[in-house]
Amino acid sequence: MAKVILKRQRKKRLEQGHPWIFQSEVDRIEGDITPGDFVDIYNHQGYWLAKGYINPASQIIVRVLTQNPDDELDERFFIERIRQAWAYRERMIPGVRSCRAIYGEADFLPGLIVDKYEDVLAVQILALGMEKRKDWILRGLLDVFAPRAIYLRNDVYVRELEGLEQEKGFWYGEAETEIEIEENGVKYMVDIEGGQKTGFFFDQRQNRAALRPLIGPETTVLDCFTHTGSFTLNACLYGAKHVTAVDISEHAIETAKRNAALNGFSNVDFVVANAFDYLRESVRAGKQWDVVIIDPPAFAKSAHAVPKALRGYKDINLNGLKLVKDGGFFVTSSCSYHVRPHMFEEMVADAAFDAKKVLRQVYWNGAGYDHPKLLAADEGDYLKFAIYEVHSRR
């Protein structure tokens, strides 16, 4: 294999366990390479560090597969990594049938995402090095999961940055593209063909379950940015008296209605509206709920977008806090990686100050067990989720 020699003056991120090597860290490449090839990685003194695959066209020039010199990068290696990823989920979420089964870098398979929906897999291959091993990956998925079908959701722009075309469709077998799954005792219809990402946001599994102690038989709930109704349905499952679910997307609300009907929940008002406007109008109208949930999409796609994103987050959090009954609970979240946890907490504190509220934090979490995080890779630390008890400041 060709050798990638790293610069002397660089942060020792690789040695700490980070799975990416950027162009700016590479001093030189020794030997002939074809994009997607496996390479050995050495420090400036010639000390072997890792093996990975290379793509000179990408800013992430090498993605690391192993730091064990004895590992042979062959089909058996990939199948074993897939098997280990699934064994971890079975251990952490006993009896799980639907979850994120492979989470790229965090499962030491950089550039590969696999979501399991009962006996159907939805797969994203995001890097050239993985694309070149599609046959190995397919055999591993068939060997470990024995799925009825596998659907490719390679319809993402990041593939173009790797020199790959976008595509989607069945890779193996055939199945319906709407699949019924169950999570935390709630049933959902998941659209693996047209849904966002690969069809469902599994990362909030444990956070959805965290609603349980907040809900009683007289509890009223406002769920903004409900999407397909996941927090709403969990609130209903735990016995909420009534839920108001708001989203700007008519398609999302229709899906949420179907999910509510699937579970037999009829105590929900579904509202198609801009959540920013709905929150402001509800404040003006003097409305209040026992529990208010704010779970928006990512507002900051880049570091440059953070100041504007924080203004948007503060707007919805400020008005959301004003809508919580005294002694009630405020549930808030952000999936913007560039809004770091301390920024998010400071934003919530500022919103509470302006809303004349005193907050008591009762729960703080990130993504669930099926979205593990490499300690050395901050890029995996994207989700912030908090529950606060709300008291009015006189």
Output phi, psi for 22, to 5 deg.
Answer: -90, 160
Length of the chain: 394
Strand order in the sheet with 20-22: 20-22, 60-66, 48-54, 38-42, 2-6, 26-30
Contact 27, 44 (CB under 8 A): yes
Taken in order 193, 196, 201, 203, is the CA torsion positive or negative? positive
CA dihedral 18, 22, 24, 28 (to 10 degrees): 100
Identify residue 151 by its one-letter amino acid code.
Y
Identify residue 268 by its one-letter amino acid code.
V
CA distance 153 to 114: 10
HSE of 263, CA atoms in CB hemisphere, 13 A: 28
Alpha-helical (H) ranges within the chain are: 13-16, 75-92, 128-131, 134-145, 158-161, 205-209, 230-237, 250-263, 275-284, 306-322, 341-354
Q: Which residues are catalytic?
A: 335
DSSP track, 87-113: HHHHHHSTT--EEEEEEGGGGT-TTEE
Contact 97, 158 (CB under 8 A): no
Output b/e per residue, 41-54; b: 16+ Cβ within 10 A.
bbbeeeeebbbbbb
Alpha-helical (H) ranges within 165-213 are: 205-209
